[in-house]
Structure 1
């Protein structure tokens, strides 16, 4: 009997615990997390941006200009698209890559430079149009004036229109001339290059090629073997005429990073006068194509004793 009574007491205790447990309030599922606060301005009135245009050392080779956007507000701003416009352009310069700019930060947004209207009516800095993502997911357009930080916008317009005037009457290209190479001679090494000048059939007057200059990678060498910032050419080219001007070069630097980090080393400035020399001096950039650039790099490596 005592065993049966003990069994009944234990069973009653288990039942009581089960009943109490079933009566306890259920904790249920965790409450849903609060949605994250909106990111971005509520309206365009909250946007405070400062916009500049400038070029890095990489931009000339890429043909680009940077739109530097500083977020002077207290809220992150996401730029969905950006463009530059000016009376000096045939159309806006646009980009569509989305970029988020934290409060107090600056981001560079590159645009491809094209469509200069020549002759230019103005060299004033362009206006920027920025499409901004708002906190509710919609977008707003913000128009901002820009500052030409280093005068490079005006410089690009002037250089582009001058180059267009030169291109209309003469074609300038580069060709490697390895038969004139004297490599493995250290500071006395010579790298051969030809400047090929072709006057267009439609030109009205002859063109004078006054000089050609060196670069950060390659110095030009005169007839006496002396290096300088530029050497005279004084080649007169009539409409339809073709002239080959030999140009000797020598490495301007031989550090290992000279070629690996080069951006401007195969872009040579040439001074040209139009109208049979009566026009103003115009400096244009004659850029090596891929094959010539590769050949020049190989020659610099050999002249400097660098590994290939």
Structure 2
């Protein structure tokens, strides 16, 4: 049976799914009639293994729907520029139908994801870098949060922590949008970096809905030959995340929920 016409497919990851390690296949129906999906599979060279979904999903004419999936492990040898294909199954008035579609990557998700995951693997082989503590301190300018980042190099190559980006929740107490630790840690050594932070905003609704405000993108370098630069994400633990939320509520002068 022929598959419906006017179908396009893309892969995206919005803020809601970053912390969950998920992404979505978006199926758009540009045809004049509703379509009914029964299954979908997706594969691309930069992800190991195929994504598979089955169920019942109706997409009205001129609309789109998403199928969300856990992101498979990354294939660092795979070409992130090759966005892969999706096989979509449909239920039609004449019976089952299926077709293969090229998958668009309109926001460059696959390339960013592969680069971050593969750099993290390289870094993990030589060093451990984590947020190890969250405290608060009162200064002349008011209450600030202090995040302790601990880096230990167990491998043979030194690392350098260059900069840490602010988030929707927190920014540097000294102003600007990035912390600049510029700290080198030699093999066999441990170093700590203190990130002094203040609220980036005092919109308590935004705090309640926050998804990525305690995930800090950090530019780092593995000082090998050649050196490798990339981005790792420092992720607060649940306890640290709670402490940071409590801090923002207190610093913004709002009563605790």
- Alignment TM-score, normalising by the size of structure 1: 0.76
* Distance (Å, rounded) in 1 between the aligned partners of 2:55 and 2:19: 21
Alignment of 1:274-285 (within 5 A): 274-276=222-224, 279-285=227-233
Quick check: 1:147 aligned with 2:147? no
* Distance (Å, rounded) in 2 between the aligned partners of 1:100 and 1:91: 26
* Distance (Å, rounded) in 2 between the aligned partners of 1:199 and 1:230: 24
Q: Describe the SS at the equivalent of 2:191.
A: strand
Q: Give the 3 Å change call, closer, same or farther, for CA 122–255 of structure 1 in structure 2.
A: closer
**Highest relative contact order (Cα 8 Å, sep 6+), 1 or 2?**
2
Alignment of 1:49-128 (within 5 A): 49-128=7-86
Gaps of 5+ in 1: 1-42
* Distance (Å, rounded) in 1 between the aligned partners of 2:184 and 2:249: 34
Quick check: 1:176 aligned with 2:125? no
* Distance (Å, rounded) in 2 between the aligned partners of 1:101 and 1:205: 52
Give 1 or 2: higher helix fraction. Answer: 1
* Distance (Å, rounded) in 1 between the aligned partners of 2:125 and 2:101: 36
Q: Give the 3 Å change call, closer, same or farther, for CA 251–105 of structure 1 in structure 2.
A: same
- Alignment TM-score, normalising by the size of structure 2: 0.89
Tell whether the 8 Å contact from 1:54 to 1:148 is kept in structure 2 after alignment. yes
**Partner residue, 1:21:** none
Q: Give the 3 Å change call, closer, same or farther, for CA 258–182 of structure 1 in structure 2.
A: farther
Instruction: Tell me how large the CA RMSD over aligned residues is.
Output: 2.2
Tell whether the 8 Å contact from 1:207 to 1:277 is kept in structure 2 after alignment. no
Alignment size in residue pairs: 256
* Distance (Å, rounded) in 2 between the aligned partners of 1:96 and 1:182: 54
* Distance (Å, rounded) in 2 between the aligned partners of 1:74 and 1:177: 55
Quick check: 1:250 aligned with 2:204? no
* Distance (Å, rounded) in 1 between the aligned partners of 2:121 and 2:132: 22
**Partner residue, 2:160:** 208
